[in-house]
Amino acid sequence: MEPFKHLKSKPVPLDIVNVDTDQIIPKQFLKLLGKTGYGKYLFYNWRYNKDGNVEPKFVINLPEFVGREILLTRENFGIGSSREHAVWALKDFGFKVILGISFADIFYNNCFKNGILAIILDKDIIDDIFISKINQDIEVDLLNQEIKICSDIHKFDIDSTLKYYLLEGIDEISTTLKYENLIRKYEHENKSLVMD
Amino acid sequence: MVKTVYDKIWENHLVYSGNDNDPSLIYIDRHFIHEVTSPQAFDGLRINNRRVRKPDLTFATVDHNIPTTNRSLPLVDEISSLQIKSLQKNCQDFGITLFDMNDQNQGIVHVIGPELGLTLPGTTIVCGDSHTSTHGAFGALAFGIGTSDVEHVLSTQCLWMKKAKNFEIILNSSSKKDLAVTAKDVILSIIKNIGTSGGSGSVIEYRGSFISNLSMEKRMTICNMSIEAGARAGLVSPDDVTFDYLREKRYTPKNESFERLLDRWRDLRPDASAKYDKSFILNVDDLVPQVTWGTNPAMTVDVTSTIPNPDEYAKGDEEEKKSAIRALKYMDLTPGLPITDIPVDRVFIGSCTNARLEDLIEASIIVKDKKISPNVKAMVVPGSQQVKLSAEKLGLDKIFMDAGFEWRESGCSMCLGMNPDILLPGERCASTSNRNFEGRQGTGGRTHLVSPVMAAAAAIAGKFVDVREWI
């Protein structure tokens, strides 16, 4: 996984609550066997109209937002299915940071496994960006856990382990495999209820 | 320290206990895999030259994208076929038991786990599917994971997790079982009340007289949709109903092993005065059948009610109001319209929420000796081959087919529409599944979530009806 430290970009404002993973990537695109190539299907049913043509009014299609790497959302982003394809699509499309008021648990977890930083901010900060700062640069500094917009600096919380993995680009499995002795000990002591 | 059921399972699975704010390493007892969310995980193993640590704790089936029509015919969808072949190869290469397409134990992963006795009390269970919460009905800690975590569990049989909060939902009931108001209505009503993020960061424990009197199948319906309330998992303390269900199942340990386990399972109840971080109480006696009107499962009303106006739904929340307006437009519904005036084009009885034998029996009581409306196309997709077989022994297939329903092979089918079973744009469906998101059952399709008896009645009437009037 590529490390994440800093990012500076303007946001793409997706002003919708409760965006579910069926919207982020509809099920007909879950049939690929790899982790890449999903970007072109991101928000497919919102991005293209019934005839398959580009829906000009949908935010990610607006020319002024092309190339932006921060997605600005609201409450409860990523609810529903556990499909990691949702994160793969956002990543493949080019998003590296998602700002929101709250995220669904599984989606949030999936983001960090793929080097995407999901940041939880207070509603008034998110409202302020939507209302008056969508064309301002947002500087994201993971090490110091802060975002800077104009002269405003907002601190954000992040789990120290997730932060470390992201900063270093560490593969979680290789870390866990170092606990082999403990895993073997657990299995040996047979605490589990299934292996009577 | 007094403990909840979740606290007990958690402690019993700690491989490494993290400090206050750090994650802990948790052992996983059962890992279910399916064709859609696992290929990339096996790729990861191969690239890094890693093995599957415990193939004997890993079980696979095909359910998400397989056709529900005649299984003796070759697959038409080449990409689906590739996913299935890929799972077959992965299971073979890594020594994993696979209940393949033509296996008599094939079925929706959350239906076959319990049915085979693979789902046991006090265990930790994961699957790359959010409805893994279903298995919590047995007093297991069961939750959905993404593909990266599938790879992590394959490789280490463990997961890093932070302990979730304890959320108790107390379901009280004094009256006897009611065929018209089901477990599905209970869980829809809970989600309506606490919202799609009401359970966020929590493990829900369902308690109270209503839940202890429920069958295992109905407890599964409730736990299944815990994820729709945003919860990490949902569970029910195991009791004699649980133990009786499991006793003779194929993989359940037998004889002395079973008796030994029983002693441990009986301890899986909350200690007296166990503390919960959150509580919600619902009196089930007051409940009527529920119908969703919008594009998330919290957008639910009583069948006796009308389509709400966005202000009334949002209760002052501007974002929720916008969301309701958007939902009404998508669903092509107008505030004030009585639910029982809404016509349906399609009826789907199926999914890991509501395609077990009891669901089909109850729906068949409504359907028996009647014909579906000429304007409706209706199908029953049993949750597993075993459910299908048992239903056929009871003659349910005949009851449904005589009424005009299609009787299909088992799979996820039109719950998520990854196979050919989809709604056409604009079609309106009464569905026993779990998600009414935009496009979920087919691009432009409109989903109303209901119980199996409500879906069956809608198929006959060609519109929603209050099924209490039919029983």
**In angstroms, rounded to a whole number, what is the distance separating the alpha carbons of residues A36 and A32?**
9
**What does the pLDDT profile of chain B (471 residues) look like in tens digits?**
899 999 999 999 999 999 878 899 999 999 999 999 999 999 999 999 999 999 999 999 999 999 999 888 878 888 899 999 999 999 999 999 999 999 999 999 999 999 999 999 999 999 999 999 999 999 999 999 999 999 999 999 999 999 999 999 999 998 766 899 999 999 999 999 999 999 999 999 999 999 999 999 999 999 999 999 999 999 999 999 999 999 999 999 999 999 999 999 999 999 999 999 999 999 999 999 999 999 999 999 999 999 999 999 999 999 999 999 999 999 999 999 999 999 999 999 999 999 999 999 999 999 999 999 999 999 999 999 999 999 999 999 999 999 999 999 999 999 999 999 999 999 999 999 999 999 999 999 999 999 999 999 999 999 999 999 998
CA A8 to centroid of chain Cα atoms: 16
The order of strands in the sheet holding A138-141 is: A6-9, A138-141, A146-149, A152-155
**In angstroms, rounded to a whole number, what is the distance separating the alpha carbons of residues B443 and A39?**
19
> Between chains, do B260 and A196 touch, taking CB under 8 Å as contact?
yes
pLDDT at B143: 98
For residue B302, the surrounding DSSP H or E stretch is strand B300-302
Option in A18, A27, A32 nearest B296 (CB): A18
Token pair 């704010």: residue: B21
Question: Tokens at residue A174, please?
Answer: 């290789």
Cβ-contact B142, B135 below 8 angstroms: yes
pTM of the predicted structure, to 2 decimals:
0.96
pLDDT at A2: 85
Per DSSP, helices labelled H in B53-103 are 78-94
The order of strands in the sheet holding B14-16 is: B14-16, B24-27, B158-161
> Between chains, do A31 and B261 touch, taking CB under 8 Å as contact?
no
3-state secondary structure of B424: coil
> Between chains, do A183 and B12 touch, taking CB under 8 Å as contact?
no
For each of the domains in chain A, give its residue range(s) and CATH number, in order of start.
Answer: 6-171 (3.20.19.10)
> Between chains, do B296 and A31 touch, taking CB under 8 Å as contact?
no
Cβ-contact A118, A59 below 8 angstroms: no
**List of chain A residues whose C-beta atoms are within 8 Å of the C-beta of residue B21:** 159-160
**In angstroms, rounded to a whole number, what is the distance separating the alpha carbons of residues A187 and A168?**
31
Hey, how many other C-beta atoms are within 10 angstroms of the C-beta on A20? 23
Point out the residues of chain A with pLDDT beneath 70.
191-196
Contacts of B347 (CB under 8 A, 6+ apart): B372, B376, B377, B378, B379, B405, B429, B430, B431, B455, B456, B458, B459
> Between chains, do A20 and B437 touch, taking CB under 8 Å as contact?
yes
- Give the 3-state secondary structure of B219-288: HHHHHHHHHHHCECEEEECCCHHHHHHHCCCCCCCCHHHHHHHHHHHCCCCCCCCCCCCEEEEEEHHHCC
Token pair 């975002």: residue: A147
Contacts of B466 (CB under 8 A, 6+ apart): B288, B289, B303, B304, B340
- In sequence order, what are the beta bridge partners of B447? B429
Q: Is B198 on the interface with A (CB under 8 A)?
A: no
Under DSSP, the state recorded for B355 is -
**In angstroms, rounded to a whole number, what is the distance separating the alpha carbons of residues B440 and A23?**
9
Option in A30, A79, A173 nearest B196 (CB): A79
Average pLDDT, chain B: 96
> Between chains, do A105 and B130 touch, taking CB under 8 Å as contact?
no
Pick from A18, A181, A174: nearest CA to B148: A174
Cβ-contact B223, B235 below 8 angstroms: yes
For residue A141, the surrounding DSSP H or E stretch is strand A138-141
pLDDT at A196: 47
**In angstroms, rounded to a whole number, what is the distance separating the alpha carbons of residues B359 and B380?**
11
**List of chain A residues whose C-beta atoms are within 8 Å of the C-beta of residue B53:** 183
Residues in B 268-297 with any Cβ partner in A closer than 8 A: 296
**In angstroms, rounded to a whole number, what is the distance separating the alpha carbons of residues B241 and B239?**
5
Contacts made by residues B186-189, CB under 8 angstroms, sequence distance 24+: B186/B210, B186/B222, B186/B282, B186/B284, B186/B287, B187/B221, B187/B222, B187/B224, B187/B225, B187/B226, B187/B228, B188/B225, B188/B290, B188/B292, B188/B297, B188/B300, B188/B449, B189/B282, B189/B287, B189/B290, B189/B300
pLDDT at A194: 62
pLDDT at A193: 56
Under DSSP, the state recorded for A94 is T
Question: Tokens at residue B19, please?
Answer: 């400090």
Question: Tokens at residue B111, please?
Answer: 């239906």
The model's pLDDT over B423-444, given as tens digits with 9 standing for 90+, comes to 999 999 999 999 999 999 999 9
**In angstroms, rounded to a whole number, what is the distance separating the alpha carbons of residues B171 and B287?**
11
For residue B47, the surrounding DSSP H or E stretch is helix B39-47
Contacts of B279 (CB under 8 A, 6+ apart): B167, B168, B169, B170
**In angstroms, rounded to a whole number, what is the distance separating the alpha carbons of residues B67 and B2?**
49
Phi, psi of B458 (to 5 degrees): -65, -35
**In angstroms, rounded to a whole number, what is the distance separating the alpha carbons of residues A15 and A100?**
10
Pick from A177, A26, A48: nearest CA to B440: A26
> Å from A52 to nearest chain B CA?
12
Q: Is B155 on the interface with A (CB under 8 A)?
A: yes
Question: Tokens at residue A154, please?
Answer: 């907002």
> Between chains, do A31 and B82 touch, taking CB under 8 Å as contact?
yes
- In sequence order, what are the beta bridge partners of A103? A77
Render B145-180 in DSSP notation, one character per residue: --HHHHHHHHHHSEEEEPPPEEEEEEEE--SPP-SS
**List of chain B residues whose C-beta atoms are within 8 Å of the C-beta of residue A79:** 196-197, 230, 296
Hey, how many other C-beta atoms are within 10 angstroms of the C-beta on A93? 17
